[in-house]
């Protein structure tokens, strides 16, 4: 009988703004399909209500109900952050996988702000990957 969870499982945490979502979407989707034992979370900041990719993400949520959780942060950023710290804390505190990989997509300002928040929350630098848009 095969174990329910492989020896090493990963929690992929995608954090993106509206400009980075297009670039992140393909990797997010392939992370779900290729590794069924891994978890995938998405924190999606969008000034638009509803966010542009909301339909696609709702479909992925129905296809992968135990594996994928999207978090929507809409509206304008506060003076200090794009993503509320309590959202990041909740995801980090409830991680149940052996490895955490954080992928940040978006504008330079967005990525810098989120990276600083994660470092403040004691996330290891090696777990954070910034994806600059061309």
Q: Show me where the domains of the chain are located.
A: 20-43+51-132
Mean pLDDT of 4-23: 85
Please report the pLDDT score of residue 95 as a whole number: 92
Q: How far is CA 122 from CA 15, 67, 75, in A?
A: 17, 25, 27
Q: Phi and psi of 110, rounded to 5°?
A: -60, -50
**Which residue did the predictor score with more confidence, 13 or 36?**
13
Confidence of residue 1 (pLDDT cuts 50, 70, 90): very low
Q: Specify whether the CB–CB gap between 12 and 41 falls below 8 A.
A: yes
Quote the CA–CA distance of 24 and 35 in Å, as a whole number: 17
23-67 pLDDT, tens digit each: 999 999 999 998 888 999 999 998 878 888 899 999 999 999 999
Higher pLDDT, 132 or 78: 132
Q: What is the pLDDT of residue 47?
A: 83
Q: What are the pLDDT digits (tens) for 66-120?
A: 999 999 988 777 666 788 889 999 999 999 998 999 999 999 999 999 999 999 9
What pTM does this model have?
A: 0.89
pLDDT at 78: 66
Local confidence band at 123 (pLDDT 50, 70, 90 cut-offs): very high
């Amino acid at each position: 009988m095969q174990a329910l969870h492989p020896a090493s499982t990963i929690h992929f945490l995608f954090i993106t703004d509206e400009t980075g979502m297009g670039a992140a979407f393909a990797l997010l989707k392939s992370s779900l399909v290729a590794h069924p034992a891994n978890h995938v979370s998405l924190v999606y900041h969008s000034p638009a209500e509803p966010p542009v990719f909301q339909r696609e993400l709702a479909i992925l949520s129905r296809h992968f109900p135990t594996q994928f959780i999207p978090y929507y942060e809409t509206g304008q950023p506060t003076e200090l952050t794009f993503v509320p710290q309590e959202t990041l804390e909740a995801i980090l505190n409830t991680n149940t996988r052996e490895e955490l990989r954080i992928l940040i997509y978006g504008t330079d300002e967005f990525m810098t702000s989120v990276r600083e928040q994660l470092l403040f929350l004691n996330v290891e630098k090696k777990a954070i990957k910034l994806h600059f848009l061309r």
